[in-house]
A and B are shown apart, each in its own frame.
Chain A
Amino acid sequence: MTLVHGSGARETFDLIMKTIVSKVPERLRKVNGGMGIDVLDDGAVIPIGDKYLVITMDSYTVKPIFFPGGSIGTLAISGTINDLVVMGARPIAIMDSITVEEGFELNVLEKIVNDMIDLLKKYDIPLIGGDFKVMPRGNLDKIIITTTGIGLAQNPIVDTRIRIGDKIIVTDPIASHGAVIIASQLGLLDNIKNIKSDAKPLIDALLPVIEKYGEHIHAARDPTRGGIASILNEWAINNDVTIVIDRSKIPIEPEVRAFLEALGIDFLSVASEGVAILAVDPQYSDDIVNELRSRGCKAEIIGEVVKPQSELLKGKVIAITEIGGRTIVASRGLNLPRIC
């Protein structure tokens, strides 16, 4: 196993399909009437009465633990809330499991937990249980937080409803979180002084829009690991369509763009933690963008879903580049040069 297999890109997807999903009998991939690993969305869906219970689970590791704009605690809570929100669910409770390495400092743990509780208080979400463990030194790199989120949805958004003609919307400038993390890791935070991680729950901005436009929103995800490149590729593959995006329309802070450019990293594959990407009915796309903007987002339509022009382009994402060419956007964790 290499790190590439955990990059959240094509390699991760392939590995999970091969080693897990394919071995689970089809009838055991979901609860009857709901959705599970048959669709591999952000969360699972279980029908109860006329509503749906949505459950999501994620493990968080990040280096460094504290970064401009938050900590691993902020991430764990926002990430889990966002996974529920993009499923169209209102969060009702959270559980957590914290594992730390022997020698981890108590006051650091407290700071992290405070970040978590601050967010829970702000959004009024109960923390209803969890687990805490300490692992021997060296068996773990400092800390892992695993959070489970439970939500309730009227119309869960499962990303298999994408249609030709759908518009792709990004709710806010992308890649700030990933850029901050990369900058911290490389000791280059000075190069993006004005940038903070975008980690934040999407409850205020997005949830009301999802509730209002319901079935007109055909897919929603939060582009964390692997960035929007990875999500768009998953959508294209699962729905047998081609998705075309215009790179020049993608919202991104100029400082973030410049920083990533100097590193030679494509912003399409860099994580955000407080941004959602939507595929919506074209008739409502402008309304949805306006609604998002009225809630303080810097939403933009960045592309659309088109009919594949050939077998080869089925399941592919195409980017119109800054100079007008059309290139295929790979969902790959590998960053190998191809330029001759």
Chain B
Amino acid sequence: MYRAVRIFLVGLVQGVGFRPTINRVAKITGVKGYVRNLGGSEVEIFIEGSQESIDRFFRELSRQLPPYSLIDEITIISDEPRGLQSFEIMKSSRELVNRSMIPPDIAICDECLKEVLNPSDRRYRYPFNSCAWCGPRYSMIYSLPYDRENTSMRKYKLCRKCLDEYNDVYNVRRHHAQGISCPEDGPRLALYTSDGKLVDSSDPLKDAAKLIDEGYIVAVKGIGGFHIAALATDDDVVLMLRKRKNRPTKPFAIMCLNLDIASRLVYFVPPSSIDLLTSPQRPIVLLPKRHDSPVSRYVSPNMDVEGVFLPYTALHYLLLMETRDKFLIMTSANIHGEPMCIDDECVFTKLRGVVDYVLTHDREIVNRVDDSVVRYTDGIQVILRRGRGYAPKWIRLPIDLKRDVVAFGAELQTAGAIGFNDKVVLMPYIGDLDNVDTLRDFEKTLWFFINNYSIDLSKTLLVIDKHPLYASREIAYEIRKKYGSNIFEVQHHYAHILSTLADRGIDLDENIVGIAIDGVGYGDDGNIWGGEVILIQGRNGYRRCGHLEYIPITSDRDSIYPARISSAILISMLGSEAYNIIKKFGLIERLPYGEKEVQAIHNKIIMGDYIRCSSIGRYLDAVSALLGFITYRSYEGEPAIVMEAMSKNWNRIRDLEPIEIRLEDGVAIAKTLNYFIDILGYLDRADLMAKQELAFRIQLELGKVLARIAINELKGRRNMKQIIAVGGGASVNTYIVRGIREVGAEEDIEVILPRRIPPNDGGIAVGQVYATIAVDI
């Protein structure tokens, strides 16, 4: 019997060698018809033939699916045969039936790398080698569908040999692969001095490697932006880079030629980290430092982990191969707080004083995408920064959204998202929106997704954070002005917990208790929150059922000089008696204006001129300063991160007294202020080792007290899911999470953390989208 079927595939089906595979399978199985990309980045297949050949087609297809494709949805409709004589890859259509995933960038595959390393291959030492299975995607797409003419590869006309490969149905990796090229026709490298003078070089890659070995700092253009490459083994070079970048302590990532080299720097603990390092996403992974690591101690001062990653392009691989160490600092090429450079002009103007040379190429980076960062929290994989490789893959919600949504995220280290049907597309990590250039990038990225997913803004719900000073809100207001869209405000910590639930595919059909812990979020009472236990009341909103006690914050400067917070807590508890303690524990020396600053804080507190803040981040800052771990915070979360690093290798000998809980109008409050005074008592008889032990236990106790509040909410209630959902930037802290888990385990309650999105503000937009199912706008 002669039949025809039409198949629609949604998922990661463009840019991963899908159409060529279909074509090949059709040729092998003898069906006629066509395959084409549709505008929403889904794929349409039409086949006709005997029932037998159609069955064969499906069988063969499931066997030959390209390694990186991901089918999310498949629709098969039977159709009328049209008497087609051949099978063809048809020109893409802009027509939008469904919306599919915009493909993320994929690290170079083994086959491509083999070619590059094979002296008799025509792509030997070719830095831009790629195939249907690998190479840049999102970073070079102007618009969908993913076809060569819609990418920055369009200016490179395929040579005869490449064209033959492209047209050869049986060439598995290059048939109809959009991004392919070769030394004849592809992008070219060039080496410049940092002030834009071309360096005469027959082999820019080799020369760049030589310069790096000599101790120069070189900007290297990659896939989603520029890196700064420098020797990781030379203290002077590292310190010079720190000085030039104005980055005193924030760790640099290290790219290692291969696992062998990486194993000299870090331990692969847990062993699954090896799969992560070699995955097509190729993230930076934070792993325990080897004690005999050859890396300069200035690369990641005060850290017990090193951020390492493997090359994800031939360019990186070849560059590392030519260097003496086979591993290098590869840090984002930006100036403090600004987005990473993606073009030469940016490097030549902004990084003139930072780098000595620039290794660049002539393929345009269309969409900036930062390296992703993954770490292990209490043994479990957590994404800290979701960029290259992961973004912009979508996340499926357990239910359908009522309408399209654009979510604007928060302010610092953030990203936006769009939602439609049952999907949330979390945009790649953008950065701090208080910076003008980052904000513009954020806007640009928003529009890329709004346009490519054909979001009709006039019917779209815009979701913003409640914080009245967030810059991202202004973009939403602009859009509302133009398109008349509705705006919906979502509380920060509610969104954090919803992010975790969305990531884990948990429906809001029951009440769920969550813990949201972070640095700063605007609370419903006008105070700053960040140590919250929140009851998600199914689809009927939420109730704050507990939190850490409010501590006084006297200015934004408190986050930079954490000893201010320690002093403020002490003053609020002990009045002017606090002065002696502030002196005794050396807090005065940790404040640039010393006693004057303490006095200013004192008087502000007396006058009631301060902000109330229940943030665990600020509390950890205060403890970290009190314990003497940190004086000046040079990057976000540093005091807490350092404290976590200091707590390593401590096991419980005895527990500290638990943090008490008091009830106030039905809200459970963890008495962290009193606890701070208790810490003084422990500290009185502590040397450095004991301080580390103390740090370990304090983090554990903070986790435990929050979990106890959560469990109290859970116990004996009906319609409650027996889980605790945890979210927020501080939920990457191993010891806090361990504390929560221990209490959870006693009651057989599972503790849930996000897996595919960052628990910090980089993932908050997902929860903002999810929140819209609970409202009627």
- Among residues of A, the one whose C-beta sits closest to the C-beta of B564 is A264
List residues 258-281 of chain A with CB under 8 A from any CB of chain B.
258-259, 261-265
B522 at the interface (CB under 8 A from A): yes
A15 at the interface (CB under 8 A from B): no
Least CB distance, B82 to chain A, in whole angstroms:
48
The CA of A263 and the CA of B604, in the complex, are separated in Å by: 9
Inter-chain contact A311/B636, CB cutoff 8 Å:
no
Q: In the assembled complex, which residues on chain A have CB atoms less than 8 Å from the CB atom of B411? A: 338, 340
Inter-chain contact B336/A339, CB cutoff 8 Å:
no
Least CB distance, B355 to chain A, in whole angstroms:
15
The CA of A37 and the CA of B310, in the complex, are separated in Å by: 63
Q: In the assembled complex, which residues on chain B have CB atoms less than 8 Å from the CB atom of A330? A: 469
Q: How many residues of A contact B (CB 8 A)?
A: 33
Q: In the assembled complex, which residues on chain B have CB atoms less than 8 Å from the CB atom of A323? A: 246, 335-337
The CA of A31 and the CA of B435, in the complex, are separated in Å by: 43
- Among residues of A, the one whose C-beta sits closest to the C-beta of B591 is A262
The CA of A340 and the CA of B410, in the complex, are separated in Å by: 10
The CA of A310 and the CA of B518, in the complex, are separated in Å by: 32
B556 at the interface (CB under 8 A from A): yes
Inter-chain contact A328/B436, CB cutoff 8 Å:
yes
Inter-chain contact B597/A262, CB cutoff 8 Å:
yes
B607 contact from A186, A310, A318, A336, Cβ within 8 A: A186
Inter-chain contact B435/A326, CB cutoff 8 Å:
yes
B558 contact from A191, A309, A337, Cβ within 8 A: A337
The CA of A264 and the CA of B568, in the complex, are separated in Å by: 13
A310 contact from B246, B440, B560, Cβ within 8 A: B440
Inter-chain contact B434/A312, CB cutoff 8 Å:
no
Q: In the assembled complex, which residues on chain B have CB atoms less than 8 Å from the CB atom of A263? A: 554-555, 557, 600, 604
- Among residues of B, the one whose C-beta sits closest to the C-beta of A332 is B469
Q: A318-B436, A325-B435, A326-B435 are in contact. Are A337 and B603 (CB under 8 A)?
A: no
The CA of A265 and the CA of B557, in the complex, are separated in Å by: 8
Q: A261-B593, A263-B600 are in contact. Are A340 and B412 (CB under 8 A)?
A: yes
Q: Give the interface centre of B434, B478, B607 by most chain A CB atoms within 10 Å.
A: B434
Q: In the assembled complex, which residues on chain A have CB atoms less than 8 Å from the CB atom of B336? A: 323-325
Q: How many residues of B contact A (CB 8 A)?
A: 55
B73 at the interface (CB under 8 A from A): no
A335 at the interface (CB under 8 A from B): yes
Inter-chain contact A340/B617, CB cutoff 8 Å:
yes
List residues 46-89 of chain B with CB under 8 A from any CB of chain A.
none
Inter-chain contact A258/B593, CB cutoff 8 Å:
yes
Inter-chain contact A328/B468, CB cutoff 8 Å:
no
B596 at the interface (CB under 8 A from A): yes
Q: In the assembled complex, which residues on chain B have CB atoms less than 8 Å from the CB atom of A28? A: none
Least CB distance, A193 to chain B, in whole angstroms:
11
A338 contact from B470, B478, B564, Cβ within 8 A: B470
Q: In the assembled complex, which residues on chain B have CB atoms less than 8 Å from the CB atom of A326? A: 338, 435-437
B468-507 to A contact mask, C-beta < 8 Å, 1/0: 1111001100100000000000000000000000000000
List residues 156-185 of chain A with CB under 8 A from any CB of chain B.
185
- Among residues of A, the one whose C-beta sits closest to the C-beta of B760 is A340
Inter-chain contact A328/B478, CB cutoff 8 Å:
no
Inter-chain contact B335/A324, CB cutoff 8 Å:
yes
B546 at the interface (CB under 8 A from A): no
A108 at the interface (CB under 8 A from B): no
Inter-chain contact A340/B613, CB cutoff 8 Å:
no
B413 at the interface (CB under 8 A from A): yes
Q: In the assembled complex, which residues on chain B have CB atoms less than 8 Å from the CB atom of A17? A: none
Inter-chain contact B557/A264, CB cutoff 8 Å:
yes
Q: In the assembled complex, which residues on chain A have CB atoms less than 8 Å from the CB atom of B564? A: 264
Q: In the assembled complex, which residues on chain B have CB atoms less than 8 Å from the CB atom of A334? A: 468-469
A337 contact from B556, B596, B729, Cβ within 8 A: B556
Inter-chain contact A312/B559, CB cutoff 8 Å:
no
A188 at the interface (CB under 8 A from B): yes
A327 at the interface (CB under 8 A from B): yes
Q: In the assembled complex, which residues on chain B have CB atoms less than 8 Å from the CB atom of A262? A: 592-593, 596-597, 600
Inter-chain contact B555/A335, CB cutoff 8 Å:
yes
The CA of A187 and the CA of B609, in the complex, are separated in Å by: 13
The CA of A336 and the CA of B556, in the complex, are separated in Å by: 7
B325 at the interface (CB under 8 A from A): no
List residues 236-272 of chain A with CB under 8 A from any CB of chain B.
258-259, 261-265
B669 at the interface (CB under 8 A from A): no
The CA of A328 and the CA of B434, in the complex, are separated in Å by: 6
Least CB distance, B416 to chain A, in whole angstroms:
14
- Among residues of B, the one whose C-beta sits closest to the C-beta of A319 is B436
Inter-chain contact A336/B611, CB cutoff 8 Å:
yes
Q: A330-B469, A336-B611, A339-B520 are in contact. Are A186 and B553 (CB under 8 A)?
A: no
List residues 597-636 of chain B with CB under 8 A from any CB of chain A.
597, 599-600, 603-604, 607, 609, 611, 613, 617, 636
Q: A332-B469, A339-B412 are in contact. Are A311 and B603 (CB under 8 A)?
A: no
B533 at the interface (CB under 8 A from A): no
A313 at the interface (CB under 8 A from B): yes
A191 contact from B475, B560, B600, Cβ within 8 A: B600
Inter-chain contact B761/A340, CB cutoff 8 Å:
yes
B767 at the interface (CB under 8 A from A): no
Least CB distance, B445 to chain A, in whole angstroms:
13
Inter-chain contact B558/A338, CB cutoff 8 Å:
no
Q: Give the interface centre of A185, A258, A263 by most chain B CB atoms within 10 Å.
A: A263
The CA of A207 and the CA of B280, in the complex, are separated in Å by: 69
Inter-chain contact B557/A261, CB cutoff 8 Å:
yes
Least CB distance, A251 to chain B, in whole angstroms:
21
Q: A312-B440, A340-B636 are in contact. Are A327 and B600 (CB under 8 A)?
A: no
Q: In the assembled complex, which residues on chain A have CB atoms less than 8 Å from the CB atom of B419? A: none
B528 at the interface (CB under 8 A from A): yes
List residues 157-200 of chain B with CB under 8 A from any CB of chain A.
none
Inter-chain contact B443/A312, CB cutoff 8 Å:
yes
B467 at the interface (CB under 8 A from A): yes
- Among residues of B, the one whose C-beta sits closest to the C-beta of A258 is B593
B519 at the interface (CB under 8 A from A): yes
B4 at the interface (CB under 8 A from A): no
Q: Give the interface centre of B436, B471, B593 by most chain A CB atoms within 10 Å.
A: B436
Q: In the assembled complex, which residues on chain A have CB atoms less than 8 Å from the CB atom of B439? A: 312, 328
Q: Give the interface centre of B528, B555, B636 by most chain A CB atoms within 10 Å.
A: B555
A76-120 to B contact mask, C-beta < 8 Å, 1/0: 000000000000000000000000000000000000000000000
- Among residues of B, the one whose C-beta sits closest to the C-beta of A314 is B478
Inter-chain contact A265/B761, CB cutoff 8 Å:
no
Q: A191-B600, A262-B593, A327-B435 are in contact. Are A340 and B520 (CB under 8 A)?
A: yes
Q: In the assembled complex, which residues on chain A have CB atoms less than 8 Å from the CB atom of B436? A: 313, 318, 326-328
The CA of A143 and the CA of B609, in the complex, are separated in Å by: 23
Q: Give the interface centre of A327, A335, A339 by most chain B CB atoms within 10 Å.
A: A339
Inter-chain contact A338/B636, CB cutoff 8 Å:
no
The CA of A327 and the CA of B439, in the complex, are separated in Å by: 9
Q: A188-B600, A264-B558 are in contact. Are A312 and B478 (CB under 8 A)?
A: yes
- Among residues of B, the one whose C-beta sits closest to the C-beta of A242 is B436
Inter-chain contact B518/A340, CB cutoff 8 Å:
yes
Q: In the assembled complex, which residues on chain B have CB atoms less than 8 Å from the CB atom of A327? A: 337, 434-436
Q: In the assembled complex, which residues on chain A have CB atoms less than 8 Å from the CB atom of B604? A: 186, 263
Q: In the assembled complex, which residues on chain B have CB atoms less than 8 Å from the CB atom of A261? A: 557, 592-593
The CA of A261 and the CA of B467, in the complex, are separated in Å by: 24
Inter-chain contact A338/B412, CB cutoff 8 Å:
yes
Q: In the assembled complex, which residues on chain A have CB atoms less than 8 Å from the CB atom of B607? A: 185-186
- Other than the given A310-B443, A311-B478, A337-B528, 15 more pairs (CB < 8 A) read A259-B596, A262-B597, A264-B555, A325-B338, A327-B434, A328-B471, A332-B468, A336-B469, A338-B412, A338-B467, A339-B520, A339-B559, A340-B413, A340-B617, A340-B761
Supply 10 A–B pairs (Cβ within 8 Å), ascending by A: A188-B599, A188-B603, A191-B599, A310-B440, A312-B440, A334-B468, A337-B558, A338-B520, A340-B636, A340-B761
Closest 5 CB pairs of A and B: A264-B555, A264-B557, A340-B519, A262-B593, A186-B603
State the B residues within 8 Å of A (CB): 246, 335-338, 410-413, 434-437, 439-440, 443, 467-471, 474-475, 478, 518-520, 522, 528, 553-560, 564, 592-593, 596-597, 599-600, 603-604, 607, 609, 611, 613, 617, 636-637, 729, 761
